[in-house]
Amino acid sequence: MKWTTAKIRATKGQQKLACLTAYDYATATLIDSAEVPLVLVGDSLAMTMLGYATTLPVTMDQMLHHTTAVVRGVTDALVIADMPFLSYQVSIEQGLTNAGRFLKEAGADAVKIEGGAFRAPLIETLKQNGIPVMGHIGLTPQSVKEFGGYKVQGREQEREAELLADAAALEAAGCFSIVLECIPETLGHQITDAVGIPTIGIGAGRHCDGQVLVTHDMLGLHSNVAPTFVKRYAELGDAMKQAFAAYKQDVEAGTFPSEAHTYYIA
């Protein structure tokens, strides 16, 4: 059954939603076959796939390239493409053109954009033009330089009130869902109760309507120290390193290929 934004909205209060990032065809097929309803082609691919220190350098062309591969691997999940830094900030026209490319050229189902109430005019335009939008507030990584690091947001009363108002504004503008990143659990709970659309938390506590993790983090695919909110479900990085070392050893010892991996004349 293909997930649509209407179906995602209808899960509010009925079902918790799992969301994972995917950046390539093979991973997308595996996530989709595990019946995860939301697949995000996150701009985190700047770090996980391209080795940058932040999400800022990734381009529209790189995001489109990866989104196209993910879309080919997904049958049922809703595929959301993350709009990269400076692909929607300059003007509403620029945001509409670039968001449209994700649906038209890459086959995504929706886009995600970072920012609060001040993004409402862009979100309204996208929705009016048939482009579903997932919002993203709290720690918005494209603003890491402004925040001065990857810091928990909404600990102070003023910022807490701002984030509550942002969530309400994003819902009113037409978002079908909102990512809440790195905020105190109490605020995640308050926002989740206050809005009628599903909240998807990442470091936003236990009361959100759903959760998202970066797949590389939850699979242990890199050796970086994971943030507090990450739960590791596998240690695939270690497993891969062991496999690579075993292969190297076999090649050097002449034990691979063996008879079983060899062709013969009939």
CB of 181 to ligand KIV, least distance (A): 6
Binding mask 213-252 for ligand KIV (x = CB under 6 A): -x--------------------------------------
Question: Measured between alpha carbons, how far is 144 from 47 in angstroms, rounded to an integer?
Answer: 14
> In this chain, which of 44, 98, 142, 211 binds ligand KIV, going by CB under 6 A?
44
Residue of 146, 181, 185, 252 marked active site: 181
As measured in angstroms, the least distance from the Cβ of 46 to ligand KIV is 8
- Rounded to whole angstroms, the Cα distance separating 60 from 37 reads 25
* Contact with ligand KIV (CB under 6 A) among 202, 204, 208, 219: 202
- Does the annotation mark 181 as catalytic? yes
DSSP codes, 56-122: TT--HHHHHHHHHHHHHH-SSSEEEEEPPTTSSSS-HHHHHHHHHHHHHTT--SEEE--BSGGGHHH
Distance between CA atoms of residues 81 and 98, nearest Å: 11
Residue 109 binds ligand KIV (CB under 6 A): no
Q: Which amino acid is at 30?
A: L
Residue 160 binds ligand KIV, judged by CB under 6 A = no
- Segment interacting with ligand KIV (CB under 6 A) among 26-34, 42-50, 71-79, 86-94: 42-50
Please, what is the minimum distance in Å from the beta carbon of residue 13 to ligand KIV?
22
Helix axes 157-173, 120-128, angle to 10 degrees: 20
21 contributes a contact to ligand KIV by CB under 6 A: yes
Give, for 163, the enclosing helix (H) or strand (E).
helix 157-173
Q: Could you give the CA distance from residue 19 to residue 218 in angstroms, rounded to a whole number?
A: 12
Residues in touch with ligand KIV (CB under 6 A): 21, 40, 42-44, 82, 179, 181, 202, 212, 214
Query: Catalytic amino acids?
Result: 181
